[in-house]
Structure 1
Amino acid sequence: MHSASSRFDRPATPSARSARPEWTRLAAAGVAALAFAFGTLTPAAASAAPLIVAHRGGTGDTPENTVQAFTNALQNGAQALWMTVQVTRDGVPVMYRPADLSALTDGRGKLADIDYADVHRLNAGYAFSRKDTSGQTVFPYRDHPLPIPTLREALAAVPANVPVLLDMKQTPAAPLVEAVIKVLDETNAWSRVRLYSTEAEATDRLRTRRPQAQLFESRDTTRNRLVAVALAGRCDAPPAPGTWAGIELHRQVEVVEHFTLGEGISKVVANWWTPAAVQCFKSRGDVHLVAFGVETPQDFEAASQLGFDAVMTDSPARLRAALANQAPSASK
């Protein structure tokens, strides 16, 4: 795991976080995000609240993974951007999440089977909807289409001091990894991008091809460690200092028990990020934790108390507004 310092690098100090009013901690986080680049953060921001990461640029606010989404997310108070990348048939990495284009656009077919020239003509906002003042569902971007941006265009549209968390969302991994490497090499963007994938093949290949790549540990590793703490009370092989890990703050999971005549399945919402889990992850030194799926002030405060470095949300606009509404009562 790459262990270079980053602008999220700060010691976990839950007591310092809880001692300050919410609005003060948010202000500190905002100052830190604006003042420092991805590779550096001074100890002055050590007790700041978690940074707010816009999931796919804020999929609840704007058509996801578009340049407009990334721009709006920053205007709505996001301090880092989560982007999803796939590669077209002719090797161009573009910002898109589902495998099939019909899920979000006016096109159809797997993105990996289509050339960039055809992808570029599609409307990335075609399926985006919201309720109007009368409660009717409207599709505001069907008459105002948004293109699917390339990775190069997305990076160019975002200030260089804004951290980018890049989710590689395609198999087989090799074509996508090689296309991403080419763009990050040519744009000299390795220091501002941290890479994630649910497919270990992608991050393993990146680690081999570009040792300077800043990577999250695999999702399997993070999940297995959380399960061991929750079910067995064990802290097996805590991560090395400098490791980055991310998974949902709450997650619906199935516990499967195998026995002679079959199996039993228990479904549960796992609240697996406990103080014991965080202590396990950080027991060998400073480890950077990102909580996915944080949509409420209560979850934001829980992540802050636990010592998370960042939280990922679908709507920075809604989360910021909710936190601001809580600020007056928090300061009394």
Structure 2
Amino acid sequence: MVIAHRAGTSDFPENTVLAITESLKAGVDGEWLSVQASKDGVPVLYRPTDLSALTDGSGPVAGKTLDELVKLNAAYDFKGPDGSYPYRAHPVHIPTLEAALHVMPPGKQIYLDLKQAPAQHVVDAVTRLLDEKKAWDRVKLYSTDAEVTTLLSANARAQVAEARDATRQRLAEVVLEHTCRSTPPASSWAGFELKRQMTLEEKFTLGTGDAAVTAQLWTPQSVACFRSRSARTPIVMLAVNTPGDLRTATRLAATAVVVDSPRTILTGAQ
């Protein structure tokens, strides 16, 4: 499956209904959406820690009510191919998660990446909405925050990726130590970048040395390790943004790939 990262962050203003609808037109199989919660506990689609990063507002999402958030232009800083800001004169607003669920057709996969601290605030907000909409079977849940993952995993209805730290550790063990010590829990799935910029640190008697490397931790051996308990364990490879990376992920039998530009990957447009 080809999944639009932040609904296609390179093609249209990320995490907006516009981006969702346009990426669906391009032919994606699903959406990867960033979720935070407003001050009054409504889950909305927005990624950075401060609203000034993308909008004409400022401050954290949790510091504003939904009524305040929907007045902001979520595409204020989105640049077009010519370097202009096409949406400053035509605002695109921050959507609620409910609105995103409404425009997603049946059968399309939805990944929700919970981004906010404190973790309990966003977990409670998303839980309430999924309960209300009876939408647990429509979504898979992810977070780089271990506390969010722990809170979500306590809910038997949640399809949660294992903690990112656990995935990274397992991948490193296979690639660097050539050993498969453990596999993900049977009910979870795993998500990690196909290639990742990392710092390799070596310790000496008199100090340390480090080097920046681009590491590909998904290999035939690491995929086999993750699927040694069950051949059906879902593996999602993130940051697959070139035709070569797509071919690599396909050879590795990824369940899904997460792409920044569905328009490029699926239609060949630049």
Q: Same fold (TM over 0.5)?
A: yes
**How many residues are treated as equivalent by the alignment?**
269
**What does 1:132-211 correspond to in 2, within 5 Å?**
132=82, 137-208=83-154, 210-211=155-156
Q: Which residue, out of 295, 300, 307, partners 2:246?
A: 300
Rounded Cα–Cα distance in structure 2 between residues aligned with 1:298 and 1:230: 21
Sort the Cα spacing of 1:240 and 1:203 in 2 relative to 1 into closer, same or farther, 3 A. Answer: closer
Kindly indicate whether the alpha-carbon contact (under 8 Å) linking 2:26 and 2:267 is maintained by their aligned counterparts in 1.
Answer: no
The runs of 5 or more residues in structure 1 that have no matched partner are 1-50, 325-332
Name which of 15, 19, 32 aligns with 1:65: 15
CA distance in 1, matches of 2:57, 2:136: 32
What amino acid maps onto 1:185 in structure 2?
A: D
Verify the 8 A CA contact 1:55 1:82 in the aligned structure 2.
yes
1:196-253 Cα distance to aligned partner (Å, 9 max, x none): 0011211211222x21111111111110011101111111112244531111100010
Answer yes or no: is 1:278 the counterpart of 2:223. Answer: yes
Counterparts of 1:281 and 1:179, CA distance in 2: 31
SS for the counterpart of 1:312 is strand
2:159 touches 2:187 (CA, 8 Å); kept in 1?
Answer: no
Q: Which has the higher contact order (CA 8 A, sep 6+)?
A: 1
Residue matched to 2:70: 120
Whole-angstrom distance in 1 between the partners of 2:159 and 2:188: 9
* Cα deviation, residue 263, structure 1: 2.1
The one-letter code of the counterpart of 2:211 is S
Q: Which runs of 5+ in 2 are unaligned?
A: none
Pair 1:239 & 2:223 matched = no
Which of these residues, 298, 302, 317, is aligned with residue 263 of structure 2? 317
Residue range with higher mean Cα deviation, 148-157 or 251-260: 251-260
1:267 equivalent in alignment to 2:217: no
- SS of aligned partner of 1:272: coil
The equivalences for 1:20-99 within 5 A come to 51-99=1-49
Contact 1:89–1:115, Cα closer than 8 Å, also in 2: yes
Secondary structure of 1:268's counterpart equals: strand
Name the amino acid aligned to 1:163. Q
Distance 1:58 1:203 in 2: 24
Given residue 249 of structure 1, which amino acid in structure 2 is its aligned partner?
L
Q: Out of 167, 170, 185, which is 1:222 matched to? A: 167
RMSD: 1.5
Shift of 1:260: 4.0
C-alpha separation between the residues in 2 aligned to 1:56 and 1:297? 19
CA distance in 2, matches of 1:118, 1:182: 21
Whole-Å separation in 2 of the counterparts to 1:277 and 1:154: 34
Q: 1:126 to 1:270 in 2, by over 3 A?
A: same
User: Which residue of the partner structure matches residue 252 of structure 1?
Assistant: 197
Q: 1:258 deviation in Å?
A: 3.3
Separation in structure 2 between the aligned mates of residue 262 and residue 233 of structure 1, nearest angstrom: 27
Q: Which amino acid aligns with 1:307?
A: A
1:109 aligns with 2:55: no
- Alpha-carbon separation, structure 1, partners of 2:219 and 2:140: 25
Rounded to whole Å, the distance in 1 between the matches of 2:188 and 2:153 is 14
- Identity among equivalent positions (%) equals 47
Counterparts of 2:74 and 2:267, CA distance in 1: 26
Task: Give the structure with the higher percent helix.
Answer: 1
Q: Which has the larger radius of gyration?
A: 1
Please report the TM-score for the alignment, with normalisation by the length of structure 2: 0.96
Give structure 1 regions of 4+ aligned residues with deviation exceeding 4 angstroms.
none
